[in-house]
Amino acid sequence: MIKIYKYGEVSNEEIFARENIASNVEGIVSEIIANVVKNGDKALFEYCEKFDKATLDSLEVSEKEIDEAFASVDSEFVEIIKEAAENIRAFHKKQAKTGFELREKDGVVTGQKIMPIEKVGLYVPGGTAAYPSTVLMDSIPAKIAGCSEIVMVTPPSKDGKVNPVILAAAKIAGVDRIFKIGGAQAVAALAYGTESVPKVDKIVGPGNAFVAEAKKQVFGKVSIDMIAGPSEILVVADSTCNPKFVAADLLSQAEHDKMASAVLVTDSYELAKKVSDELERQIPLLPRAEIARCSIDNNGKIIVAENNLLLAIDIANEIAPEHLELCVDEPFEYLDKIKHAGSIFMGKSCPEALGDYFAGPNHTLPTSGTARFSSALSVDDFVKKSQYIYYTREALSKVADKVAYFAKKEGLDAHARSATIRFEE
């Protein structure tokens, strides 16, 4: 059963405690990466047999396989994927930025140009799971940014095939190449390249502990989006909320995995009790009841800020959740008070699942409190910026002595002379 805390009656350490997830996979991942670097495709085929129980003829998904998969997906779902993709495109197009140029002084030009990252690797969980939403969320912003090549990796099922809905989403999103590899070995292949898999410049997308650790280890060789932890939802609900809806929203994340975190912060102890009862009623009805049960019992909590909705929002800011539902009557009155959240769901008719699949904002979000300093995946993640400077000789002559003076203060005479030598007889 979910724990209920009254704010102020227990320590803040207990209220704000997060499960400390330590995965002892560092050494295993290091060995896998080294093997892929040394043996390339050979290592990838071996890992596919070992971990995915699949024997492959080719690592890359063929155009024929993609077309056959697309044709096998029911047409209604294809249309829903297309509509979701359009919503995601419309939202992310608004994020695109242009460079700028300053010509405020005679003979001086400074500016910044924005350029797409050329090659991007997209990790999509696969095997028994199928997340076409991840394909859309992680590839469409890259397309809008102008990335020249998007390379997707996803583990195959035992028959050596990729789930058809994954391939259908990839076709709709415009993914360029797809490979049947998963786990740390897939991350290593993208980071270093093999005979078949091209080396990329950035790797994005969620995965298990092995994938997260591999992304951490290859960072610096390539860029990554973030190190994602277990999924989280925090619902701020006032006393007028329907407890059935609140419980259902908490369970929408609790069913992800046993380490997922579902938190309710409310100004009403009565609502807290009703939501707790409703969770007990709804959990047994879920196909993933065992997972949801474990998540709610071990990582779930209800925090009561009695008759104080503003305090409830302060508590939410302290936790800095991945998903924050603001289940109140006038949510826009409180939007400016939200300081730390990956994505904010406004009002009582906006379940978090809308953001997972359909609304348009990205669902790849910071977890484990990192929303205090990081953001949802966006077009910005797929571009880089270069600055440029131009001075005429006359413009340089006006500031050369100042540049030299500054450089000498730092003890760098060669820096200083590079500015003044141009004006020596």
Active site residues: 322-323
Largest CA distance in the chain: 89
**DSSP secondary structure string for all residues of 337-363:** G--S-SEEEESTT--HHHHHHTSSS--
d(CA 352, CA 363): 10
**DSSP secondary structure string for all residues of 186-220:** HHHHHHH--SSSPP-SEEE----HHHHHHHHHHBT
Q: Do the strands 108-116 and 100-102 form a parallel or antiparallel pair, or are they unpaired?
A: antiparallel
Q: How far apart are the first and last CA of the chain?
A: 85
Place of tokens 């155009």: 63
The tokens describing 283, both together, are: 């959990």
CB 349 within 8 A of CB 66: no
Q: Give whole-number Cα distances, 279 to 13, 17, 257, 260, 284, in Å.
A: 25, 22, 16, 15, 9
